[in-house]
Amino acid sequence: MSSENDEIKVEFRKVASPANLSRESDVQVAQSPPEQKAMPVGDSERSEAETIRWLKSLDTHFVFFFGKYKSGKSVILASLLRSLRHGGGKGEFHPNIEKPFDRGAVLVSDLEGYMDDNRFPPRTKQGNVICVNGEFTPNDQRFADLDITFLEMSGEDLTEVAIQHDSVGSLPSHIDVYLKADGLPIVFILVSPWMEAAQDDKVIAQFLDYVKAASPKGHSANSRMFLLITQWDTYKGQATALEFAKANMKKTYNAIRSFRNIVNEYSVGRVVAVDKQPYIDPFNDEYPSRLWNQIYMTFTGRDLMKKSFFQWLFGK
């Protein structure tokens, strides 16, 4: 039995999950779809220092999805984009079609196709960071437009990484560069299925330690950590997401314990099998709408869901 002073080493491995069509992440494996192409950002010939300067020069706000292999990050991103397209985010998202973000716009179109067919999107290809940039335009003109960049790393990249307790490990350079660019306005969305929370706890907590060590000056004042406990539609307990995280993800909970950070449950909807293929029917629009509002509030300080006096007065 090891003591608290012993070195703790976490290896990120691929772990087979039992077949269960009610689980968003496992459904992707059941489908065996083609992988998403990675979307490189900027010139691959840039040095790390040049890339960091370039990232800081962008007038955008970053949303970085973190989770291990099969955690469901692509599903959450797809459901969020679907919600924005259907007005659930109280506005519209317009993908940037200019280089170097043009391939991200193609990805948005692909994800919309999967969502329109009530299907799960394919997993992210190993070896780079998915990047989708665009502008969110609120329906209500009282609210400001927001330039936003979604970033998603392949969970498989983490299978080759070990971060050791009390020391700084290493992450692939295409991921590391975002973490080293201190001062970026960034929201980290930490994804963990509820049934794997205990195993994910150490991984996520050590990632948070790594983020802190990689960017000693820290990110901007309006940065934030969101912990999403996913596949919540299959959870049969009575605890809230916050209570669940406090009991089952103690290291992560203590690391993000702050009035600014958020712990929420998440589900894309009910998953059914049609001709042995998994489909989402119906979608749950509440969770992506709430998530987008919290992201928007983080960067702007404005609540898209808050009604004006006249809206409240006339019941609109």
How far CA 276 is from CA of 19, 33, 121, in Å, comes to: 12, 14, 17
**Better pLDDT: 41 or 10:** 41
Question: Helices 24-31 and 73-85 meet at what angle, rounded to 10?
Answer: 100
Task: Give residue-wise pLDDT tens across range 133-189.
Answer: 999 999 999 999 999 999 987 665 554 454 544 444 567 777 778 888 888 899 999
pLDDT confidence band for 310 (50 / 70 / 90): low
Whole-number pLDDT of residue 227: 97
Query: b/e per residue, 50-81, with b = 16+ CB within 10 A?
Result: ebbebbeebebbbbbbbbbbbbbbbbbbbbbb
Which residue, 115, 114, 154, 113, is CA-closest to 131? Answer: 154
- Is residue 45 scored above 50 in pLDDT? yes
Contact 67, 203 (CB under 8 A): no
Structure tokens at 11: 């290896």
pLDDT (tens digit per residue) in 202-259: 888 888 888 888 776 777 676 799 999 999 999 999 999 999 999 999 999 999 998 7
pTM comes to 0.80
Say if residue 166 is exposed, middle or buried (CB neighbours under 10 Å; 0-12, 13-18, 19+): exposed
Cβ within 8 Å of residue 79, ≥6 positions away: 115, 268, 283, 287, 288
- Topology, domain 18-314: Rossmann fold (3.40.50)
Average pLDDT, the chain: 78
The 10s digit of each residue's pLDDT in 259-296 is: 789 999 999 999 888 888 888 988 999 999 999 999 99
- Residue 179: per-residue pLDDT: 82
- The pLDDT of 16-29, averaged and rounded, is 34
